[in-house]
Homo-oligomer: A and B are copies of this chain.
């Protein structure tokens, strides 16, 4: 018994040594894609103070909740929300079963490839198309549809898979926060069931830590096997005021750090920073027309106007993508999509 125990202790020590070596290697720079500057310094000094035992700003690990918008914060959102492209692809796929779409707007324009007219009806039109393409199947069927799309679809400009249109510096930030005991959540206006099938693989964020907009579902036994059927009925819009409401509903704890890129994230940042104790709010500002896109106050997608003023007034961290980020996207994975 003693010999076995000694062997186990030795094994434990070896595991520790390996883990320790890995930690040291990583500790060299947890944020290699971030240039040294105000944004990076604000992030690391916040993390250091809330994790330092005995510090007046120490926050217990269980309360280290960090929430991230998705579109424009973790992955790109131009030339339009990727979920809108998914919706268009679904409409084309489903068109044979819907001959009436040939003459019915906004579907007719989508089928003609006229994106501008299709989106002219604004959020209402997009919602109508979402309902028509996201409902009617079971949750498992829809999950598979999303998985198939994300595995094969390519971005209209870069031609890269959407899962490679994510921001490398933000991937590092997510990992850095988790390595420091944070629990990272997505809180997005996008569809919760559109993000969950790939968020764990791409961001390391499991389904139970994804908050988003949703439609209703219905429990139904089918040939003795229960399924959840997706209904064409809105359940919740996780945008603007909806973000703090969604956070309260899903997480039940106020975040200590929140990350966004548009006015749609403003209430989440306000809600986060209004809590007691140390708080952190960050806006990703799209300033890099060359490597990504440059847009803010006048953009119809991801408008950052009021939020930019409030960030300046309140001293929130604003990432200047052009200045602060060494790279935008991770290296291409080639065949491994």
Could you say which residues of chain B place their CB within 8 Å of the CB of A9? 13, 16-17, 20
User: Is A148 an interface position by the 8 A CB rule?
Assistant: no
Q: A residues engaging B (CB < 8 A)?
A: 8-9, 12-13, 15-17, 19-20, 62, 65, 139, 183, 192-193, 196, 200, 206-210, 214, 217-219, 221, 225-226, 228, 235, 241, 244-245, 248-253, 267, 270-271, 274
- Given A9-B20, A208-B253, A250-B250, 17 more contacts at CB 8 Å? A8-B20, A9-B17, A13-B13, A15-B16, A62-B200, A139-B248, A192-B249, A193-B252, A206-B253, A208-B209, A208-B252, A214-B249, A219-B245, A225-B274, A226-B244, A226-B274, A228-B248
Known contacts A228-B248, A251-B207; decide if A20 and B13 are in contact (CB<8 Å).
no
Most buried by B among A15, A16, A207, A252: A252
- Closest CB in chain B relative to A288 CB, distance in Å: 32
Q: Taking chain A's interface residues, is the majority helix, strand, or loop, or is none over half, making it mixed?
A: helix
Could you say which residues of chain B place their CB within 8 Å of the CB of A196? 252
26 contacts between A and B (CB under 8 A): A12-B13, A12-B17, A12-B20, A13-B13, A16-B16, A65-B208, A206-B253, A207-B251, A208-B208, A208-B250, A208-B251, A208-B253, A210-B252, A217-B248, A217-B249, A218-B241, A219-B244, A219-B245, A219-B271, A221-B270, A225-B274, A226-B244, A226-B274, A228-B248, A235-B249, A250-B250
- Closest CB in chain B relative to A11 CB, distance in Å: 9
- Closest CB in chain B relative to A129 CB, distance in Å: 22
Known contacts A9-B20, A183-B208; decide if A228 and B252 are in contact (CB<8 Å).
no
Most buried by B among A207, A210, A271: A207
- Closest CB in chain B relative to A226 CB, distance in Å: 5
**Roughly how many angstroms separate A8 CA and B16 CA in the complex, as a whole number?**
10
**Roughly how many angstroms separate A226 CA and B17 CA in the complex, as a whole number?**
47
Could you say which residues of chain B place their CB within 8 Å of the CB of A183? 208
Question: Ordered nearest first, which 9 A-B pairs have the shortest CB separation?
Answer: A207-B252, A12-B16, A13-B13, A219-B241, A208-B251, A196-B252, A207-B253, A16-B16, A219-B244
- Closest CB in chain B relative to A65 CB, distance in Å: 8
Q: Is the CB of A226 within 8 A of B192?
A: no
Could you say which residues of chain B place their CB within 8 Å of the CB of A248? 139, 217, 228
Q: Which residue of B lies closest to A271 (CB)?
A: B226
Q: Which residue of B lies closest to A12 (CB)?
A: B16
**Roughly how many angstroms separate A9 CA and B219 CA in the complex, as a whole number?**
54
Q: Is the CB of B219 within 8 A of A252?
A: no
Could you say which residues of chain B place their CB within 8 Å of the CB of A235? 249
Q: Which residue of B lies closest to A193 (CB)?
A: B252
Could you say which residues of chain B place their CB within 8 Å of the CB of A228? 244-245, 248
- Closest CB in chain B relative to A140 CB, distance in Å: 9
